Amino acid sequence: MRFRKLLFDADGTLWDFNASARLSIGNGFKRRGYDYPDTVYKRYEVINKGLWERYERGEMPRDRVLVERFELLFAELGIQEDAAAFENEFRQGLEENPIWMEGAEDLLRRLRPDYEIYIVTNGVGDTQRRRIALTGLDRYVDGIFISDEIGAQKPQGAFFDYVLSHIGPCETQELLLIGDSLSADILGANHAGIPACWFNPERLPLSGSAHPDYEIHALPDLMTVLTAPAS
């Protein structure tokens, strides 16, 4: 077997962040007595994306993005609500409602007998541990690495050095990292010399300086990568 140890990102890879966001906003709307048709979340996605693009261009601070996305959404819908309070509730809801990515739990179950499985995630320790417990992700893994607890984050070399020194002796070529972020997961793996599989369900174009060795659009397709002959 070519790969022996699999390093999985969590958010956006094993957990469906969009599904959690959709649910959390819906809960906020319902608590306040508003309808929550599909169009609301679609508008939120457009507004949210636009604001994060402005943030990335340096036009807006992060804290402003978080609140303004709901100010703009409420303004469009003609709703009078406290956007900052809604944002707080929203983010708490995200923490409390992790949702498996389609096919993720089934995939881990299939891989479990044949591979060592590790989680490599950027995030707050308490939050990630709680979400791991809520989804039962810990049942399927041999180790969990959280940036907050390590003191370094993907794509930093220090994060991967720590992981490599804690998963037992192996060649980096026996590892495969699976993640949705080019800039955190794939770039970090590239620098650490670890083969990388880009999970790209939205079929985004390749951008930046990351070089995925493999690309999949659905999690079950990882089986094809793992069983393919070494090139």
Catalytic residues: 9
Q: Is 11 in the site for Mg ion (CB under 5 A)?
A: yes
Q: Is 195 in the site for Mg ion (CB under 5 A)?
A: no
Q: Is 212 in the site for Mg ion (CB under 5 A)?
A: no
Range in contact with Mg ion (rule: CB under 5 A) among 75-83, 96-104, 144-152, 181-189: 181-189
N-to-C CA span, the chain: 13
State how far the Cα of 91 lies from the Cα of 183, in Å rounded to an integer.
Answer: 23
Q: Is 89 in the site for Mg ion (CB under 5 A)?
A: no
Q: Which of 15, 180, 189, 190 binds Mg ion (CB under 5 A)?
A: 180
Q: Which of 5, 12, 140, 145 binds Mg ion (CB under 5 A)?
A: 12
**For the sheet containing 214-216, what is the strand order?**
143-146, 116-121, 5-8, 175-179, 196-199, 214-216
Q: SS3 helix, strand, coil % of the chain, rounded to 5?
A: 55, 15, 35
Range in contact with Mg ion (rule: CB under 5 A) among 24-32, 69-77, 111-119, 172-180: 172-180
Which residues are at the interface with Mg ion (CB under 5 A)?
Answer: 9, 11-12, 180-181
